[in-house]
Amino acid sequence: TESQLKEANNNTAPSGNITDLAFVIKDDNTVTDTTRTWRIYIKSTNKDVFADESDWVTMNAADKYFEGKVKLPTNGDVNIKLDKNFKYTGGNIVICVCEDGGIYYYAAYFKRFTAKANRSLTQRGSAKFNIASLPSASTSYRTYSPIIKFTIVPPPPFNLNVNVTTDGTSPMQGVSVNVTGKDSGGSAVQEEGSTAADGTCTFVDLNEPDEDCYTVTISKNGYKTVTEEVCADDIEEGEVTLGVVM
| Range 173-195 burial, b when 16+ CB lie within 10 A, else e | eebbbebebbbbeeeebebebeb
C-alpha–C-alpha distance, residues 209 and 44, integer Å: 17
What CA–CA distance (Å, rounded) separates 174 from 75?
Answer: 64
pLDDT-above-70 percentage for the chain: 81
> Cβ(215)–Cβ(227) under 8 Å?
yes
CA distances from 36 to 117, 177, 200 (A): 29, 54, 53
pLDDT mean across residues, the chain: 83
Q: What is the structure's pLDDT at 109?
A: 72
pTM: 0.70
Q: So what's the pLDDT on residue 53?
A: 78
Q: How many C-beta atoms surround the C-beta of residue 78 within 10 A?
A: 21
Closest CA to 85 of 29, 6, 15, 148: 15
CB 132 within 8 A of CB 49: no
What does the pLDDT average to over 190-196?
A: 97
pLDDT the model gives residue 36: 82
Length of the chain: 246
Lowest mean pLDDT among 39-53, 149-163, 212-226, 227-241: 39-53
The answer to whether the beta carbons of residues 141 and 50 sit under 8 Å apart is yes
pLDDT tens per residue, range 75-94 = 778 899 999 999 887 778 88
| Cβ-contact 209, 232 below 8 angstroms | yes
Comparing 45-54, 119-128, 162-171, 225-234, the range with the smallest average pLDDT is: 119-128
- Percentage, residues of the chain above pLDDT 90: 41
CA distance 10 to 16: 14
User: Quick check: 3 and 120 in contact, CB under 8 A?
Assistant: yes
Q: Which of 174, 177, 205, 178 is nearest to 190 (CA)?
A: 178
User: How does DSSP classify residue 58?
Assistant: P
pLDDT above 80 (res 167): yes
CA distance 158 to 179: 13
